[in-house]
Amino acid sequence: MKKKSSKPQAPPVVSHAAVQASFKEIVGLISAAKLRAVQAVNSELVALYWQIGQFISLKLATAEWGEGVVANLAEHIARTQPGLRGFTRPNLFRMRQFFEAYRDKAIVSALLRQLPWTHHLLILSHAKQEEEREFYIRLAIREGWSSRELERQIRSGVFELSLLTPPKVSSVVRQLYPEASQQFKDAYTLEFLGLSAAHSESDLHGALLSNLGRFLTELGRDFCFVSSEFPIQVGKQDFALDLLFFHRGLNCLVAIELKATRFEPAHLGQLNFYLEALDRDHRKPHENPAIGLLLCATKDAEVVEYALSRSLSPAMVAQYETQLPDKKLLAAKLHEFYQLLDSETETPRPTP
């Protein structure tokens, strides 16, 4: 009986798209590993700078060293560790400042290794109060800001504005989303749009789409863009919602209506209509009710409060700034705020 000759089987045909998808997956693994390596190196560097700062601080505090010894230390490191950067006299004193700023804040010191050293230098140089430094540390970690974006947010006065002007939200928002005040702002700084003083709503809309990445950064890390001029059909009429986003943390759609004018109570009617349509016709079963944000050129806080006090929709009102705010003016207002707070609590606070 003859044996059948076994022919080698041809390799399976794999599509070009499948190969490319596999390559992309491997590149993703490499990128993720590189990122973890960078984060690990950064964490160790920050821990090292903390230890050096602690060492120098204790030596100076006990008068075992004079400040001139720190300069000698910098020279010694440069001589014995050629090519090693970052250990100049000014930087060694910054390490001391770094340690002394957070040594009594156990909760904050546990977070320090999650930020690069450049972030800490920015925070130390711009934020003079403990509350302000902790605020930016936590927010930079949560939002994943680059050092450039962190500096921009500091210049925007995010800390001052968060205390002086918390977001204006309806009672329904507070009930449904108690954490919403941490996810939204009372004012959004959009200086990167380059809008003129006489811009129109169409100009604002187009500029936001052209700078969508930066707008998403300003909104917050959990915002995901869904659509522009999102079509809504009710009855036989067609409508278009300016901007539609999804918030991962709140698990809901976020409708943003733009107004290049002052806030008017009538604007809420239009936004509430869109929210009702989104919940009835577009919300998925696992999602929470939609939230609405009216983004206006200006607003009167008292008018906003009156308009939202009886609103039955999860709506908010904020304004946008086309220029960075005056930090000195904000600091002065914050100082007044602290003085008022101190008069009520009799607890002294540092001067901004």
Hey, what's the torsion of the CAs at 307, 319, 317, 240, to 10 degrees? 110
- Residue 192 has a pLDDT of 94
Cα distances (angstroms) measured from residue 149 to each of 75, 145, 178, 219: 34, 6, 27, 12
Give the pair of three-digit tokens for residue 63. Answer: 């008068």
Mean pLDDT by 10 residues, the chain (352 residues): 62 75 87 85 91 95 92 93 90 95 85 93 92 93 94 92 86 88 91 93 97 95 96 94 96 96 94 95 95 95 90 91 85 76 58 49
Decide: helix, strand or coil at residue 320. Answer: strand
CB 324 within 8 A of CB 190: no
Residue 2 DSSP one-character state: P
Residue 127 tokens read as: 């934020």
Per-residue pLDDT, 166 = 84
Residue type, 140: A
pLDDT the model gives residue 348: 54
Give the residues across from 249 on adjacent strands.
none
Calculate the alpha carbon distances from 267 to 187, 231, 257, 258, 264 in Å: 17, 19, 9, 10, 6
Residue 332: its pLDDT value, please?
83
Helix (H, G, I), strand (E, B) or coil at 242: strand
Contact between 189 and 325 under an 8 Å Cβ cutoff? The reply is: yes
Residue 28's identity, in one-letter code, is: G
In the prediction, which pLDDT does 2 show? Answer: 56
Report how far Cα 235 is from the mean position of its chain's Cα atoms.
Answer: 39
pTM for the whole structure: 0.79
| pLDDT for position 234 | 94
With a CB cutoff of 8 Å and minimum separation 6, the contacts of 227 are 241, 243, 244
